[in-house]
Each structure stands twice: as C-alpha cells, then as structure tokens.
Amino acid sequence: MNIITCTPEGLSVYTNVITCTPEGLSVYMNVITCTPEGLSVYMNVITCTPEGLSVYMNVITCTPEGLSVYMNIITCTPEGLSVYMNIITCTPEGLSVYMNVITCTPEGLSVHMNIITCTPEGLSVHMNIITCTPEGLYVYMNIITCTPEGLSVYMNIITCTPEGLSVHMNIITCTPEGLSVYMNVITCTLEGLSLCT
C-alpha cells in the first residue's frame, strides 16, 4: 500500500508492505514527510520467521534547528538476543553521538556503550564495556574530557574471576598549570591482597 499526499503545506509519502507466507511474516513501513519546517523519515522493518525475530527502525529528522538520526536494530534468535541503538544529534550547539550494543547469548552478556559530545565548550568521550560470562565479569570504563581548560582522562578496569578480583584505575589531568597522573592497582586473590598506588 502506498499513500502520497501533496498539499501547499508539503509532501507526505506512506508505504506499507506486509508479506505473510509459511516461511514467516515480513512488515515494511516507511513514512516520509517534507514540509517547509523540514524533512522527516521513519522506516520500520519487522521480520519474523521460525529462525527468529528481527526489528529494524530508523528515524531521521532534518530541520533548520539541526539533524537527528535514531537507529535501532533488534535480533532475537535461539542463539541469543542482540540490540543495537545509535542516536546522532547535530545542531548549531554541537554534535552528540550515543551508541549502545547489547548481546545476550548462552555464553554470556556483553554491553558496549559509547557517548561522544562535541560543543564549542569542548569534547567529551565516555566509553563503557561490560562482559559477563561463566569465566567472570569484566568492566572497562573510559572518560575523556578535552576543553580549553585542559585534558582529563579517567580509566577504570575491573576484572572478577574465580581466581580473584583486579581493579585498575588511572587518572590523568593536563592543564596549563601542569600534569597530574594517578594510578591505582588492586589485586585480590586466594594468595592475598596487593595494592599499588
């Protein structure tokens, strides 16, 4: 099905395609709106078969205020669940990027998150990785901030296994006043506790 509307206010296009067979169900929907205020595109694709479910969604908005892109992909099969989300916003104030990837299988859970912000005030990057398996837990976090005042880096790594716990923290600050570096390593095993600063 296709519906096109054209008026002095703008153009609108709506497309919907549904397919249902013994192999499975497929749904495709696309909505495009174009007016003097801007362009908007919405697309959704759903596929459902005996092998699993797949959902893809994409939303794009472009106006004089800026550009916004949202994308979401979900896949669910007997092997596991996968989720991917990406949000991009670009305005005169700056650029913002958010990405999240989640994977869950019988082998374990994995989460990866990345946030990037860039404005006239400076750049900020935040990355977080979490992995949880029968072998243990792993957490990695990294935060980077860069402004006219200076550079700041924070890193934290946590590893937890049946053998023990390990924590590594690193902080670096660089400003016109000077450089500062702080490192802390903690290891806790059956043999004992180790602390290094």
What is the number of other CB atoms lying within 10 angstroms of the CB of residue 148? 8
pLDDT of residue 1: 81
- pTM for the model: 0.85
* pLDDT tens digits, 76-86: 999 999 999 99
Contact 172, 181 (CB under 8 A): yes
2 pLDDT above the threshold of 90: no
Q: How far apart are alpha carbons 26 and 162 in whole angstroms?
A: 45
Which amino acid does the sequence have at 116? I
pLDDT of residue 189: 86
Q: Residue for token digits 């990405």?
A: 99
Mean pLDDT of 117-138: 95
Task: Give the chain's mean pLDDT.
Answer: 94
**Phi, psi for residue 8 in degrees, rounded to 5:** -60, -25
pLDDT range class, residue 92, cuts 50, 70, 90: very high
Q: How far apart are alpha carbons 51 and 196 in whole angstroms?
A: 51
Contact 99, 85 (CB under 8 A): yes
User: Chain-centre distance of CA 155, in angstroms?
Assistant: 19
* pLDDT tens digits, 135-187: 999 999 999 999 999 999 999 999 999 889 999 999 999 999 999 999 999 99
Q: How far apart are alpha carbons 184 and 81 in whole angstroms?
A: 36
Q: Which residue from 89, 87, 109 is spatially nearest to 100, judged by alpha carbons?
A: 87
191 pLDDT above the threshold of 90: no
Which amino acid does the sequence have at 180? S
Q: What does the DSSP 8-state code read for residue 148? A: T
Three-class secondary structure of residue 8 per DSSP = coil
Q: How far apart are alpha carbons 140 and 137 in whole angstroms?
A: 10
* pLDDT tens digits, 3-57: 999 888 899 999 999 999 998 999 999 999 999 989 999 999 999 999 999 999 9
Three-class secondary structure of residue 183 per DSSP = strand
Three-class secondary structure of residue 28 per DSSP = strand
Find the angle CA(132)-CA(138)-CA(143) to the nearest 5 degrees. 125
